[in-house]
Amino acid sequence: MPNPTAAIILIGDELLSGRTRDSNMFFLAQELTRLGIDLRLAQVIPDDAATITATVRDVAGRFDNVFTSGGIGPTHDDITADAVAAAFDRPIDVRADARAILEIYYADRNIEMNAARLRMARIPDGAILIENLVSAAPGFSIENVHVMAGVPRVFEAMCHSLLPGLASGRPVLSQTWTVMRGEGEIATRLAQIAGDHPQVSIGSYPFSKDGVYGTNVVVRGVDGAAVEAALVAIAEAFPA
Amino acid sequence: MPNPTAAIILIGDELLSGRTRDSNMFFLAQELTRLGIDLRLAQVIPDDAATITATVRDVAGRFDNVFTSGGIGPTHDDITADAVAAAFDRPIDVRADARAILEIYYADRNIEMNAARLRMARIPDGAILIENLVSAAPGFSIENVHVMAGVPRVFEAMCHSLLPGLASGRPVLSQTWTVMRGEGEIATRLAQIAGDHPQVSIGSYPFSKDGVYGTNVVVRGVDGAAVEAALVAIAEAFPA
């Protein structure tokens, strides 16, 4: 059975302007690889309600899991929850369970509850809350779409709450063999080895260090014996 | 006149597996902001020819400029040039001008030209070469799609060759005001200020440091006077 598939939608003008360098996709990609869930697509889109709604609609139908990051805080530019509700034609309002979580958290810290903070309890009808052990305000799952925060510490905490409950697959194993020769020198032989080992994917990543060219050859696959066989063939073709 | 728009397509299994953290989008986003070209979309897709062709076709019709990164080296997994040619129904083969660039570069370094390296001279009919001052093998532009390398040093060199020739717009100015209060405390007043200053976009980015919560408020816009007016209003509402 093939592994489940996934896409991630990163929502935020700050990523598209170059103000912020993504770390949430990088984090989630590694977690999904460990779980055997194949990340097939990432999209970075602006803080625009119509774009968020259209993108969620499009992507939700094409992948087993969709993760979103960003736009669920208390400020005017936090529009993701409403835009995702619209994608599923679901009503959205302050929900009692989410409100209770925030009230307890703020009461413990002598922080006043106000209208802005209460926006973080807006949850679409029928959605399941995603726990946030960092700052309480929950994410939520609606059908196969998992809506999480953009702040990396909170995003990662939500992933830790969410991911163990998802259907997973066979973890993708990865082995790297470093060859101290340029890609152009090893490419022909490497293509033959790739053809001989159709069960794995073989990637080639050139680098240069202190003026010396080298290539990291990465073998990936779910079958450990197949990964090992390809790695042995590569090591024999290009001895250290 | 509105600024020109752009999208970037990052091609590479290594980004989707979490092996590599993107830096090319981050670099290009900052360059485009300086040039007044609005980056509206980034997509990360796998090394799969059909996906590359379909994505390029889709995106090329929706944005003024499309940049791709990755998959134009000498190895079997470098399939971007052929997939982009297919998106435009253009023939592709080794082209004399690209071949000459490679031959000179390799002859100078006593590196043998071989079939694998020659693949890097495969250029679609009618495409314009993008100079690569790092490792010679060129990128290319075909209509509004600019095909560049994935290795960050080479990608950046190609951007420096390409970007000055593109139609640019009004640079987006950005000013940040740091407020040492949580987002939830400033959100209501901030939303009023955002409503009062429709010419700019105001983003709110929470952080915590040593247990203290703060918010970076970022004002962005092409009109310097409008950016300044919004910044003054924010500074008055939330004094340092």
- Average pLDDT per consecutive 10 residues, chain A (240 residues; last block may be shorter): 95 96 98 96 97 98 98 95 98 98 95 94 98 96 98 97 96 94 94 96 90 92 96 95
The predicted structure's pLDDT at residue B51: 98
Whether residues A172 and B23 touch (CB distance < 8 A) is answered with no
Q: How confident is the model at residue B22 (pLDDT cuts 50, 70, 90)?
A: very high
Is the separation of the CB atoms in B234 and B219 below 8 Å?
yes
A192: closest CA among B16, B115, B70, B102?
B115
Give the A window 61-120 contacts with B, CB below 8 Å.
Answer: 73-78, 111, 114-117, 119-120
**Residue type (1 letter), B123:** I
Query: What is the arithmetic mean of pLDDT over B106-115?
Result: 93
The predicted structure's pLDDT at residue A74: 95
Angle at A71 between CA B183 and CA B222, to 5 degrees: 85
The predicted structure's pLDDT at residue A139: 98
- Whether pLDDT at B209 is above 90: no
CB neighbour list of residue B152: distance below 8 Å, 6 or more residues apart? B23, B24, B27
The predicted structure's pLDDT at residue A211: 80
Q: Is A91 left (phi over 0), alpha (psi -120 to 50) or beta?
A: beta
Give A-chain residues touching B111 at CB under 8 angstroms.
182, 184
Instruction: Using the Cα atoms of residue A128, residue A133, residue A134 and residue A137 in order, give the sign of their dihedral.
Output: positive
B176: closest CA among B238, B83, B99, B87?
B238
What span, in angstroms and rounded, lies between the C-alpha atoms of A86 and A124? Answer: 9
Whether residues A18 and B32 touch (CB distance < 8 A) is answered with yes
The predicted structure's pLDDT at residue B71: 96
What span, in angstroms and rounded, lies between the C-alpha atoms of B213 and B209? Answer: 7
Report the interhelical angle of A183-196 vs A224-237 (nearest 10°). Answer: 140
pLDDT tens for B67-108 read 999 999 999 999 999 999 999 999 999 999 999 999 999 999
Asked if B149 has any chain A CB less than 8 Å from its own CB, the reply is no
Report the interhelical angle of A24-35 vs A152-162 (nearest 10°). Answer: 20
pLDDT tens for B212-233 read 889 999 999 999 999 999 999 9
- Whether pLDDT at B153 is above 90: yes
Asked if A179 has any chain B CB less than 8 Å from its own CB, the reply is no
Q: Determine the distance in angstroms separating the CA of B18 from the nearest CA of chain A, rounded to an integer.
A: 5
Q: Give the residue from chain A lying closest to B70, CA to CA.
A: A205
Whether residues A25 and B43 touch (CB distance < 8 A) is answered with no
- Helical H segments across chain B, by residue range: 13-16, 24-35, 49-60, 80-87, 96-108, 115-118, 152-162, 183-196, 224-237
Q: Determine the distance in angstroms separating the CA of A74 from the nearest CA of chain B, rounded to an integer.
A: 6
Burial B1-22 (b: 16+ CB within 10 A, else e): eebbbbbbbbbbbbbbbbbbbb
The predicted structure's pLDDT at residue A213: 87
For an interface test with A, which of B16, B40, B154, B159 has the most A Cβ atoms less than 10 Å from its Cβ? Answer: B16
- Radius of gyration for the alpha carbons in chain B, expressed in angstroms and rounded: 22
What span, in angstroms and rounded, lies between the C-alpha atoms of A27 and A183? Answer: 28
pLDDT tens for B189-200 read 999 999 999 999
What span, in angstroms and rounded, lies between the C-alpha atoms of B77 and A204? Answer: 7
Q: Say if the ipTM goes beyond 0.90.
A: yes
CA atoms within 13 A on the CB side of A133: 7
Q: Determine the distance in angstroms separating the CA of A204 from the nearest CA of chain B, rounded to an integer.
A: 7
Asked if B222 has any chain A CB less than 8 Å from its own CB, the reply is no
Asked if B9 has any chain A CB less than 8 Å from its own CB, the reply is no
Domains, in order of start, for chain B:
5-165 (3.40.980.10), 173-237 (3.30.70.600)
